[in-house]
Amino acid sequence: MTQLPEDPIAWIPKLTKDGSFTFFSQEFGEMFHSRQGAKTEAFLKFATATDLVERSQQSSLRLLDVCYGLGYNTAAALETIWAANPDCHIEVHGLELDATVPNAAIASPLIETWSLKVQEVLKAIAQTHQCHTPQLQAKLWIGDARQTIQQLSGFLADAVFFDPFSPSCCPQLWTVEFFQQVAKCLSHKGKLATYSRAAAVRSALLEASFKIGTIPLGEAHAGDRRLPHEWSQGTVAAFKGDRLCPLSLMEQEHLQTRASVPYRDPHLSDSAEVILARYEQERQVCQKEATSSWRQRWGIK
Ligand SMILES: C[S@@+](CC[C@H](N)C(=O)[O-])C[C@H]1O[C@@H](n2cnc3c(N)ncnc32)[C@H](O)[C@@H]1O
C-alpha cells in the first residue's frame, strides 16, 4: 500500500550539527533546516535578526510565522522574549500547509529542544491549532499561505519569520505578489527575516516596497571552512532602512545581475511549474549583466 503523506511515520528525525533535530521533505526534496543546526538557525536567523530581545521590553508583541513547520521559529521567539521579559504578552499567527509536520514535531526527541513552558505551547498548537493563555494568543492557519494570509486582515506583526523551502523548490512563496501580501501584515516598525540571500528574493522584496539589509556572517569558529559563496546568512526587510545592516558592494552588484529577476504569481494561484516557466522566460529576455560575470569579478566559484 502506498504510504500517504499524512502518515506521521513519514517524518523521521534527522540530527543536525548543534544536536537538535529536523525533518527531510520527500515532496520538496529538502531538509526543513540548515544542517549546521536547526535550533541555532531559529535563534540566529529569525529571533535575533528581528531584534526580539530589544522588542521584548514592550508589553506585547505580535509575530507572524510564515511556514510554521516544526514550530522552531515560534519556539525560539517565545524562549527569547520570555527570557528577557516574562510578562510580555505575545500574539502569534502561524501559516502552514501540512498539519502533520507540527504534529510530528511534538514527539520525542524533537520537543525536548525547548523549555517545558514552550513545549506545552507547541503541543497545544499542533493538536488544536491554537493556544490561549494569559501570556499568549496563538493560532495556526492550515492551508496554502497564499490564501490563509488574506484572512489576517488588520493584523500587524512586529516580526515576520519567513521560512519556506528554497525558491527553486517552492517558488510560490517567494513571489513579488506574495511579499505584497506579507507587507500588509508588517507594522511600520516591524522586521521580516529570512534565511535566503538570493538576488531573486531580495529584488522581489524591493519590488514589494520593502527596504532590505543583510544578515551578516557570524564569527567564524576555529576549524570552520567558509565557502566562497557564503557572504550572508540571509535577508532582513522593513519599511525603513535605518535599522538594517547595509548590503555589501558585492551584494548590491548581485542585484544588478540576471539573478535578480524575481518570481511572479499575478493571481497568487499558479503552480510551481508555471511560476518557474514565467521566471525562466523573464530571465531569457533580461538585459542585465550575466551572473557568471559578477561571480568571476568577486571570485565566487
Ligand atoms: C523550511 S520548512 C519550515 C520550517 C519551520 N519554519 C520550522 O522552524 O520548523 C517549510 C514549510 O513550509 C510548508 N509549506 C510548503 N508550501 C506551503 C504553502 N504553500 N503554504 C504554507 N506552508 C507551506 C511546508 O509544509 C514546511 O513545513
Whole-angstrom distance, CA of residue 197 vs CA of residue 235: 6
Check pLDDT > 90 for residue 141: yes
Check pLDDT > 60 for residue 222: no
Q: For 5-16, what is each residue's pLDDT tens digit?
A: 445 457 999 999
Residue 145 resides in a domain:
yes
- Is 226 or 288 the better-scoring residue by pLDDT? 288
Q: DSSP states of the chain as a string?
A: -PPPTT-GGG---EE-TTS-EE-EETTTTEESS-TT-HHHHIIIIIIITTTHHHHTTSSEEEEEEES-TTSHHHHHHHHHHHHH-TT-EEEEEEEES-THHHHHTTSTTGGGGS-HHHHHHHHHHHHHSEEEETTEEEEEEES-HHHHGGG-TT--EEEEEE-PSPTTT-GGGGBHHHHHHHHTTEEEEEEEEES---HHHHHHHHHTT-EEEEE---PPPTT----TT---SEEEEES-STTS-PPPHHHHHHTTBGGGPPB--TTS---HHHHHHHHHHHHHH--SBPHHHHHHHTT--
Determine the pLDDT at residue 70.
98
- Mean pLDDT of the region 245-249: 95
| Total count of domains within the chain | 1
Determine the pLDDT at residue 139.
98
| Residue whose cell numbers read 501570556 | 135
Pocket, ligand 1, Cβ cutoff 6 A: 32, 42, 67, 69-73, 95-98, 101, 144-145, 163-165, 170, 172-173
- Mean pLDDT of the region 104-124: 97
Q: Which atom of ligand 1 sits closest to the CA of residue 105?
A: 9
Residue 200 resides in a domain:
yes
Check pLDDT > 90 for residue 158: yes
Residue 69 resides in a domain:
yes
Please check whether residue 42 is in contact with residue 73, taking contact to mean a CB–CB distance below 8 angstroms. Answer: yes
Determine the pLDDT at residue 228.
46
- Mean pLDDT of the region 270-277: 98
Check pLDDT > 50 for residue 19: yes
pLDDT confidence tier of residue 273, bands split at 50, 70 and 90:
very high
Determine the pLDDT at residue 7.
52
| Model-wide pTM > 0.75 | yes
pLDDT confidence tier of residue 286, bands split at 50, 70 and 90:
very high
In the predicted model, what is the mean pLDDT of the chain?
A: 93
What CATH code is carried by the domain that includes residue 152? Answer: 3.40.50.150
- Mean pLDDT of the region 115-136: 98
- Mean pLDDT of the region 209-216: 96
Residue span of the structural domain in which 147 resides:
37-247
Residue 237 resides in a domain:
yes
Please check whether residue 101 is in contact with residue 70, taking contact to mean a CB–CB distance below 8 angstroms. Answer: yes
Q: Which atom of ligand 1 sits closest to the CA of residue 41?
A: 8
Residue 272 resides in a domain:
no
For atom 2 of ligand 1, the residue with the nearest CA is 32
Residue 78 resides in a domain:
yes
Residue 95 resides in a domain:
yes
Residue 226 resides in a domain:
yes
